[in-house]
Chains A and B, each alone.
Chain A
Amino acid sequence: MNESTAECNSGSRRHFLASGAMNVSGVALAWLLAQNRSLAEVKKPDLQQRVHDTTPKVPPGEPKARAMISLWMQGGPSHHDLFDPKPEMAKHDGKEFPGEIKYDNAAQSSSKVFHSPWKFQPHGQSGIELSELIPHTASIADDICLIRSMHTGVNNHGQSIRALQSGRTVEGRPSLGSWLTYGLGSESDSLPAFMSLIDPGQLPVLGVENWSNGWLPSIYQGTVVRPTEPRILDLTPPAHLKGNAQRRALEYLEQLNANHLAAYPGSLDLQARIASYQLAARMQTSATEALDLSQESKKTQEMYGLHEKATADYGSRCLIARRLIERGVRFVQVYTANQLWDSHGSIITRLPAACQKVDRPSAALVKDLKQRGLLDTTVVHWGGEMGRLPVVQNDAGKAKIGRDHNTYGFSMWLAGGGFKAGHVHGKTDEWGHKAVEDVVNHYDYHATLLHLFGLDHEKLVFNRSNRDQTLTDGQPGQVVDGILA
């Protein structure tokens, strides 16, 4: 069960200490600190008013990546049918599953083994085996690092999304994009550092929480780009204000705000709003230009599938993501619709339809970044919050069957930004149920990602109420050497 106290919105929670983040009582904490200073360095309160901004920061380590595009497959794509072939299971298809299974939906559960009805083949020089449902992804097999041993272990959407998007299963924490922009700033001064490209359907599960800044300052919040034109509302000044008139008006506004700020020096909220006007003014030209896909050649547009109904939407958003990254945006996430991949039933028809939407655009993004020399420094991530079970759900005839949640072993892929290309990492058991070899937990994935950006997951801290907070929050995250180039 997903419990949260009346979740309201994303936004600044600077003064809010998420209660769930700390399960250690006060007295125990005092004891802990006394036992081992390195666990949580005792600090004096920060007396200086910090100024938070998004100017570019030099990471302490050697960075391989400087930007990231996350193609977020909400709902949990079936690794059995896309990435993780288990030919041996064919013999058991329809028979009793011999082991134990943890179901999410007990009401529709069955123990009938469900062997993938789709064919797998090795692709590229690397010979990575991929399903016939994703032929375009197959064409970039030599560019991707496929992890077949992902694990979050919390079998429902909300919590597993939180694990992957914000480091822990609890509510109220900053998302990955917020951490990256907090740590590294942005290389663009005219676009938001962190942008979320949402689907025309319903928002993904957890909605705005996906790009929340949690308790980081609000300038690290993701900016939503609308799925249809106009992608950003009110981006164009009214005719009579265009040009000098508005420039002068904003100078006047800034003067008003400066007078006001003088009475409250050090107010982060007031400063953030002043900065947001400056950014908004610059976005009028730069975002308009960045979002204008007509500047792309017909060849590029077709590569992303803009000419076809099934791929036009996701393709446009992938193409926008590339344009944003080119212009210095740090983190872009491209969402699929609410539960698109949540194949509880009718997987036979729904899964191919979902693949058709995203397969071509996803592969095009990687190819396009590569041909522009951007792939080396840009991480592309493709994956959702879970995989599926090896058994049938909703055993009500072939047209209706599906697969239930599985967060004990699932697949996702990464490309570029220092990830090893043409590589498969980790294994699930013979049934594709649990990750058994080279298991990658969400915190390992996060530690590795930050490492590639030149950041140490234990050292990228935000001091909140005199306690240093991190993305991995004390979980035993390890940089996964096996997936580094």
Chain B
Amino acid sequence: MADVLQAHLETMLGAGAVFRDGQREAIEAVVQDGSRTLIVQRTGWGKSLVYWIATRVRRDAGHGPTIIVSPLLALMRNQIQMAARLGLRAVTLNSANRDDWAAIEADLAADRVDVLFVSAQRFANEDFTSRLLPTIAGSIGMFVVDEAHCISDWGHEFVPDYRRIGRLLPALGPVVPVVGTTATANDRVVADVAAQLGRDVRVVRGPLARASLHLDAIPLADQAERLAWLAEHIPGMPGSGIVYCLTVADTERVAAWLRANEINAVAYNADVDAGVREGLEQDLLANRLKVLVATIALGMGFDKPDLGFVIHFQRPGSPIGYYQQVGRAGRGVADAYGVLLTGREDDEIAEYFIATAFPPTARMQEVLGALDGVATATIRDILEHVNLPRGQVEKALKLLEVDGAVGHERGHFFRTPMHWAPDEAWIAGVLEARRQELASMRQYVDTADCRMAFLARLLDDPAAHECGHCANDGGKVWPRDVDHDLVLAAIRFLRGDIRLILSRKQHADGKRLGFVNGEGHALSVYNDAGWCRRVHDGKYRTGRFDDEVLAAAVALITGRWQPSPAPTWVTAIPSTAHGSLVGDAAQRIAAQLGLPYVECVTAVPGLPTQRDMANSWQQEANARRKLGIAGDLVLPGPVLLVDDIVDSKWTLTVAGELLRAHGSGPVHPFAFAVASPRGA
């Protein structure tokens, strides 16, 4: 066999090519009937070479195609070319290439596909499991789980669909070889994944440290200082790179700031359309961008050998996750930089992620309850009956589905006959593991030891050793102090980071509203830098927005915004809990604008606040119960409608409808703050 493997290698890489440490051993293990292999090697080691050659050998022996479960969004062109050199045809099925499915289906049926790439989520898709998989002509020849640490509960990323993959592995039977690959795993994760792969699993493990990577970690005071640091130092970084942020909102903000500082940066997160994301990946690969500012949505499978730097805008929650992200840099270049910035809000964000990792049991039960007694229900049906945010309902449904308590087909959810009870001990164990990982990351920031060695030890790498070139070990130390003028500019940027209030156009049930507000503006983002602190003080401490805040509001309205058609009068959302806060502010704005102020929107006292309404159905219904209008007071012209903090926008929407219905002109909503957007 050795000669055959060498021949395949040379076919792929050219005459005289040699296997790296462990590659031949891995292939020889993998091609055996029914073998179970776990490959723990740093990315760039060449694990794809292992499954390409193994697939070639298996196919030549008459076995069916290889299925690779991988989080890859799209197959990298060079990977497909490598496979093609061995005469292998690799295809991928994902939501972005649905148009190709029919052709792929025909190829599967005709046994023209050698490797099928799919995501773990694909196995939750009825169309895939019930319609497409059964067309495969022969057997499934080999089963590969890329990023296999995801099937471990102790991995840093909990992906519910991987629980199903973990269940599948032992059920695959005695013939199909199963391969797990991961670049990042500590002993606990390796042991867990190995156990799930089955008996007699062979672990092929290599050192994780990357010689070209120079690590540093820098605590800075706040967002403004970190923004200033980025603007100052990114231009001096080699090649192009990634800035990782913990939240979607931060990616947008950081990218905008960098662009304002003439750095070619774009945000990349789960809210960005899949097609656009793929284009951004290509732009980064081709060095058409200096920086992609990303959440972990830019993650597993992204391989750019010449990535020059990875900077973290906040401290990530786990060493495995950090190693994986920073490890994208320097795979194929001599020097690359991994800098971790950290600030005082990091702990708060990390704790938030831990606290919301699992929906509380009571909420899971509520969602289940909404499915009892009905044959099927849509998400909308469920939201109408439970007062929970849509995201939480979706998360609960996904967990219940993986547990087998809920099924879904074509957007319809239904209860299965399986009894469901939360596994409290398991959840507690997972959360405890997260807290320990968080503690490890705090230690990583504080350590005076070699950073690469420290990280490798956290990952239980037996080959951990002093790297000799990190900031703590004689290597490059990035400056800790930031340019004062840049910090001031960052503060101004954050304050000027005005927020649009896009109008709602539909009822919660999707029907069109009778009247739609104009596009509104907010002065700040709640819980953020900029004006937010002053807005908070006004609302919760002094009961009055101070003159500076008010001046900023008027400057926004008359300067950058200039609503059109220009308002001819001002009104306000009535405060129930906070006295005359909003009415007072609206009155002062009206005075400064030289417009009449009219109190005409009314509120029924004693009803729950909008904040306690968790989804659109509940929010709309509550706003409609609550708001009324003194119709005879309404003036005919365009109106500026003032509120303090806007969240779901239902209050503004319903108030706007009432105003229009009673004869006002177009409604321009203004708020002092918008609640933090999703993910922040």
> Do A and B interact with each other, yes or no?
no
The interface of chain A, by Cβ under 8 A from chain B, is none
The interface of chain B, by Cβ under 8 A from chain A, is none
